[in-house]
Amino acid sequence: MKLYKIYLIPLFLISTSTQAGWGVTTAASRANCMNNESITWNSKKSFNWKTISIHQHVNGKKGPYWNHIVDTGWAVTWRSAAVHWGESPEVGTYRWDVSGYHFFAGYANGKWPFAENYARDCHLYDGWWDI
Amino acid sequence: MKKIYALALTTLTVSCYAETMDVDAFKAKLQLLDNKIRIVKLKDFMKSSISTNEDQIEMKLLIEDMQQTKKEMDSKGYVFKPSPYIHFLLNEIKDEKTRQFIQSKSSELSSELSNFKIAYDYKSINPSFYEQHLGFSPMGTYVNCFENECQEGWTGAVEYFEKDGLTCSYSEHNTKLAHGGNELVEELITYNINNKPTIEIVFKDTTGVLYNIEWFQEDFDRSLECASVNYSKDNLIKVHKFAKEIDKK
């Protein structure tokens, strides 16, 4: 399966998505939600995180831009967001699969990954809330 | 304003390029540690994560930071580093009004574990262990089953409690469900918690002290973080004792 890999331009806006858990680390992916995205989050701590979000169109072989990877690279942050803004404007339709890989590197420990997840809809799952 | 720029710069990334790639080959290249624990020498830390010069620089800096942290831990017993989590434990989670406010505004915190869907049979800490329980939060990632048969829910949970003058959070994460994996540094770990690979670090800042112990076994990562206003070796001994007891729950 061929994919296109795109790293996004710097974005100085906070996403419309989400927070979860009070002072704990959570990781989520959402698809077909205006954005396709994978986000690692902790409202009270910063970590060295890297998030990779793989976006696959359900008809992925149609063209080079239909499938791609968003990689945040390593950054010390409370919110590592691999987001493709506006990639899925047809909210509520099933056009994209999103797989998220959430990595961590800290004292004596690399979580490779901390968690994986898969989404094909925009649900704010139990525990996820809009800001 | 500076803060906003700094926040944006540190939280949101990145650069722009495009190339064709194969998803399966890409995943294989990542060498994911799906529910595995790998112990490596410090010099080899996270080698599989390095794919660019930036990654290499980042890991080099991290290794230097680890060496410095170890040095400080060995000489003083703690590392002096700002840690907002100390304030969170000592002033926010401990404060009843703050807890009530959070609970009234969202379901990020609850006094009942049953208010969260956990994807496995999470066994909470026995109430006889602590003096006061301060609530539960979900953690990890949320497992969706879609049309497959599985148990939906979060891959972990956190409990907050008070015991012996310390305010603590205990986190448990199911690495089997989350497909998580750990690489640990041989020179920096101990086996102090029931002979399981263990990482110990103590942070101190102007607000207090955080005693942090994380230990690993097949299927689970567990960590205990306890805060106090002042540093004492006795507190560290207490936290060891708590961790050993909780591990047997």
Confidence band of A60 (pLDDT split at 50, 70, 90): low
* Best mutation target, B46, B53, B141, B193, to test chain A (most A CBs within 10 A): B141
Residue B107 near chain A (CB below 8 Å): yes
| Residue B133, both tokens | 């329980």
pLDDT digits (tens, 9 = 90+) for B99-154: 998 888 777 889 999 988 899 999 999 999 999 999 999 999 999 888 888 999 99
CB A57 within 8 A of CB A106: no
Whether the upstream peptide bond of residue A113 has omega within 30° of 0, thus cis, is: yes
- Using alpha carbons only, give the angle B40, B44, B46 rounded to the nearest 5 degrees: 85
Q: Chain A partners of B203 at a C-beta cutoff of 8 Å? A: none
Q: Which residue in B84, B155, B189 is closest to A45 by CB distance?
A: B84
pLDDT digits (tens, 9 = 90+) for A11-23: 333 333 344 667 8
CA quadruple B218, B219, B224, B225: dihedral positive or negative?
positive
- Residue-level pLDDT at B2: 44
Query: How many whole angstroms separate alpha carbon A87 and alpha carbon A129?
Result: 21
The answer to whether A86 and A31 have CB atoms below 8 angstroms apart is no
Nearest Cα residue in chain B from A128: B108
Please check the confidence at residue B1 and state whether its pLDDT lies above 80: no
Residue A73: helix, strand or coil by DSSP? coil
B137 chain-A contacts, CB cut-off 8 A: 21-24
Which amino acid appears at position B88 of this protein?
A: F
Range name among A57-66, B142-151, B208-217 with the lowest pLDDT average: A57-66
Strand, helix or coil for residue B219: coil
pLDDT tens digits, residue range B179-201? 999 999 999 999 999 999 999 99
Give the mean model confidence (pLDDT) for residues A40-55: 92
A3-62 residues touching B, CB cutoff 8 A: 3-13, 19-28, 44-46, 48, 50, 52, 54, 56
CA distance B54 to B51: 8
Question: Among A77-86, B19-28, B101-110, B127-136, which range has the highest average pLDDT?
Answer: B127-136
Provide, rounded to the nearest whole percent, the portion of chain A with pLDDT above 70.
Answer: 73
Cβ neighbourhood burial of B241 (10 Å; 0-12, 13-18, 19+): exposed
Distance from C-alpha of B182 to C-alpha of B74, rounded to nearest angstrom: 24
**What single DSSP character describes residue B112?**
-
ipTM: 0.88
Looking at CA atoms only, how far is residue B195 from chain A in angstroms?
A: 17
pLDDT computed for residue A4 by the predictor:
43
Structure tokens at B33: 């540690």
What is the average pLDDT value for chain A, to the nearest integer?
78
Q: What is the pLDDT of residues A112-122, one digit of tens each?
A: 999 999 998 88
Q: Among A108-112, B44-48, B182-186, which stretch is predicted with the lowest mean pLDDT?
A: B44-48
Mean pLDDT (chain B) is 89
Quickly state the pLDDT bin for A66 (edges 50, 70, 90): low
The answer, for B37 touching chain A at a CB cutoff of 8 Å, is no
- CB of B192 less than 8 A from some CB of A: no
Q: Where are the alpha helices (DSSP H) in B77-213?
A: 84-87, 96-105, 175-178
pTM for the full predicted model = 0.87
Q: What dihedral do alpha carbons B114, B120, B125, B127 form, nearest 10°? A: 30
Q: How far apart are CA A102 and CA A53, in angstroms?
A: 9
In the predicted model, is pLDDT for residue B10 greater than 50?
A: no
**Which one, of B159, B167, B124, B162, lies nearest residue B138 by Cα?**
B159
Residue B22 above 80 pLDDT? no
B13: closest CA among A27, A70, A44? A70
For A109, which DSSP code?
Answer: E
Count of other CB atoms within 10 angstroms of residue B89: 27
Residues forming beta bridges with residue B10, ordered by sequence position = none
Task: Give the chain B residue nearest A63 (alpha carbons).
Answer: B20
| B16 Cβ under 8 Å from any chain A Cβ | yes
Instruction: Rounding to the nearest 10 degrees, give the CA dihedral for residues B12, B18, B22, B26.
Output: -40
